[in-house]
Amino acid sequence: MKIKEVSERMSVSQDTLRYYEKIHLIPSVKRNASGIREYTTEDLQWIAFIKCMRAAGLSIDALCEYVRLYQEGDATTKQRMQILYDQREVLQKRMEAMHTTLKKLNEKIRHYEQETCL
């Protein structure tokens, strides 16, 4: 699959895909004889994983470390798990803060709705 199709399918800019490849977030995208990138199903899975982790707040540096460890093999499983555990804790704290904010917003909205009904 060519970069344009991947970009459209995955909702990621072509520049971002090139950047991810440059910093080795997407391990070794193959190229055809003309030098054009040919993305595989595995590459798409990496892109989906990267998008998910970025949406969860994982930094590019942490993702690069995760990919580097992944490429080193099974001996790094515990280290990769720790990266994911750490990120889960950060995300849980963010979600709690967002829940608190949502609760406060809802209280304010109810207050104004009650005022306008009087």
pLDDT digits (tens, 9 = 90+) for 46-100: 999 999 999 988 999 999 999 999 999 999 999 999 999 999 999 999 999 999 9
C-alpha 65/C-alpha 70 separation (Å) is 8
Q: Which amino acid is at 64?
A: C
- 3-state SS assignment for residue 103: helix
Rounded-to-integer distance, Cα 66 and Cα 83, Å: 7
Sorted by where each begins, the domain ranges of the chain are 1-55, 58-118
C-alpha of 109 from chain center: 32
Handedness of CA 32, 28, 11, 46 (dihedral sign): positive
Does the domain spanning 58-118 belong to CATH 1.10.1660.10?
Answer: yes
pLDDT in tens, 23-33: 999 988 999 99
Give the domain 1-55 fold.
Answer: Multidrug-efflux Transporter Regulator; Chain: A; Domain 2 (1.10.1660)
Task: Identify the pLDDT of residue 23.
Answer: 94
